[in-house]
Amino acid sequence: MTIVVDRRGQLRVQGDWSMQADNPLIQVLFAHPFTRDYQQQIAWLTTVLRELKSHTQVATYNMVAHSWGGSAAVSQLVRQGSTTDLPRLNRLVLLGAPVNEATPTKPDAMYERLTATKQNLAAITPGIIHNVYGLLAGRLTDGEVPVHQITALRAVVRDSPLQYREHPVPGIGHGRLHSAPQMWQLIAHLLWSPDQGFN
């Protein structure tokens, strides 16, 4: 199944899924992904999750999100993760998600909002976040996102019911985090291996 979200937040569903499938996949596409920040994507993700629970009875979900999509997924989880009209997070696989893009002269307003609301996670049911990032030639970056922007998530999830694990991948650049065959194998392992989450 593919869910396309248009610029007004309306959903268009293409295809369907089998309730008997072991690991059904739903691809979410934003028709207008380029925005000043990812506030809009947070609202769109919430709409998609609410639709999945109310119309297809999805009770738990796994999510894979790359770059800003991962940052939006984390913000959505912190703000709305304990809401009863949404499915419960099982596993979240982040790929090079820059949750804190602050510089020495400019704070990151989105990250400040994230840390200011992190107490919401106390009410969330247990799940697991796998924070995956690339390292190029021994440098602390994947070529686009510095590692410190990614690992800033530690401070947000600390002391929450969520399990949190980091997975550095040497030799993988930002764009290849979701396109390299070795990454597909890692993602599948993190999503579906029995010891990687809660069932």
In this prediction, residue 106 carries a pLDDT of 93
Is the pLDDT at 180 greater than 80? The verdict is: yes
In this prediction, residue 56 carries a pLDDT of 84
195 burial level (CB within 10 Å; 0-12, 13-18, 19+): exposed
Given a contact cutoff of 8 angstroms between Cβ atoms, the answer to whether 74 and 124 are in contact is no
pTM exceeds 0.95? no
Q: Is residue 198 very low, low, confident or very high in pLDDT (cuts 50, 70, 90)?
A: very low
Given a contact cutoff of 8 angstroms between Cβ atoms, the answer to whether 108 and 129 are in contact is no
In this prediction, residue 194 carries a pLDDT of 81
Given a contact cutoff of 8 angstroms between Cβ atoms, the answer to whether 88 and 52 are in contact is no
Arithmetic mean of pLDDT, 88-95 = 97
In this prediction, residue 10 carries a pLDDT of 94
Strand 60-66 with 88-95, pairing: parallel
Q: Which residue type sits at 58?
A: V
Arithmetic mean of pLDDT, 93-118 = 95
Domain boundaries, the chain: 39-193
Is the pLDDT at 53 greater than 70? The verdict is: yes
DSSP 118: G
In this prediction, residue 17 carries a pLDDT of 78
Helix, strand, coil % (nearest 5) of the chain? Answer: 35, 25, 40
Q: Is residue 196 very low, low, confident or very high in pLDDT (cuts 50, 70, 90)?
A: low
Q: CA 7, 40, 26: angle at the middle one, nearest 5?
A: 75
Q: Which helix (H) or strand (E) holds 63?
A: strand 60-66
> Where is average pLDDT lowest: 120-124, 176-180, 194-198?
194-198
Q: CA 115, 129, 187: angle at the middle one, nearest 5?
A: 140
Please give the biggest Cα pair distance in the chain.
Answer: 53
Task: Print the SS3 string covering 145-196.
Answer: CEHHHHHCHHHHHCCCCCEEEEEEEECCCCHHHHCCHHHHHHHHHHHHCHHH
In this prediction, residue 104 carries a pLDDT of 87
**CATH 3.40.50.1820 for domain 39-193:** yes
Is the pLDDT at 197 greater than 60? The verdict is: no
Q: Is residue 199 very low, low, confident or very high in pLDDT (cuts 50, 70, 90)?
A: very low
